[in-house]
Amino acid sequence: MAKIGEAKVVTTDVFEMGSIPWKSFNLDTSAPSSPPTTLLIFTPTVPAAYTVIVFYHGFFIPPSYYTQLLSRIVSHGFIVVAPQLFWNGLPMFGSDEIKYAGEVVDWLVNGLQPLLPENVEAKLEKVVLLGHSKGGKTAFSVALGYAKTTLKFSALIGIDPVGRLSKCKATESPPKILTGVPRSLNLNVPVAVIGTGLGPEKANIFFPPCAPDGENHVEFFNESKPPKANFVAPNYGHMDMLDDVTPGIFGTVLAKCLCKNGKGPKKLMRETVAGLVVAFLRAQLDGDYKDFDAILDNPGIAPAKLDDVEYITA
């Protein structure tokens, strides 16, 4: 029994692995369903209807490097489709990237359902957009209508989104969406932004910050219109939600050298990000605010420390 004056301990299951079994598989452009680009798909195997999340990866980061994060989300009852926005081994830029990002959304209409386990249904009435780093900007761009899509969106989540690597125009690929004006992004969907405290810091003298001031999560949140939620993990860096193992020399450089990393286990960051995504979507899509409100009331229940926690409705 808690003593008088003690804070009540609140627990929530969103930070744990969910109870729903799932599987994942890759699909390339030669498949009979003809996806516009290579896809990594995560799906529950328990019969039910599930919301579909389209996840856009960061700059030159294979979708497979997010397996531990995305599988946690799927285990709570979502289907995740993660396109690889590479072309001939190189990352896409600007209009090409947005074009393919939108084509993946339209592919869902006829391409996804036949690939799912028996009696697993993809709910396509309103799709969720989720993206990390440059993929966060891609998700915002698709939601803003830079890619013409036939499906509607129900929510938008940016994980440490980045507009460009610096204020230098040479580092920016179109479209330019950040304006510097608060609440200027006409999104018309609930928005959550999950930022990192170490993203604006350099890892070393050789590379610029991965999420520089003026182009990072702060601006994306400030320029979004309500309803919008904000969470910052101050002790973690821009790549700390990736898998513990990112194979190859490039994977090692990407995860350990390019961006400043936190000193805590990446597992805690993945648990926190996945939990925030699940809690936000339960609240916005299903009207179930239990977990979301618990986090807002007591951010300390998250595995990783959270700062700047706020939810603005108007």
133 is catalytic: yes
Q: Could you say which of 57, 75, 76, 133 is catalytic?
A: 133
CB atoms within 10 A of CB 99: 16
Q: Could you say which of 71, 160, 240, 243 is catalytic?
A: 160
Nearest to 104 by CA among 49, 38, 42: 38
Q: Could you say which of 71, 238, 243, 291 is catalytic?
A: 238
124 within 8 A of 52, measured Cβ to Cβ: yes
217 is catalytic: no
Element (H, E) at 152: strand 152-159
Give Cα separations from 165 to 125, 162, 200, 210, 220 (angstroms): 35, 7, 10, 7, 14
Nearest to 158 by CA among 193, 202, 198, 205: 193
308 is catalytic: no
CB atoms within 10 A of CB 23: 12
Give Cα separations from 132 to 88, 114, 120, 164, 234 (angstroms): 22, 28, 27, 13, 17
Q: Which residues are catalytic?
A: 133, 160, 238
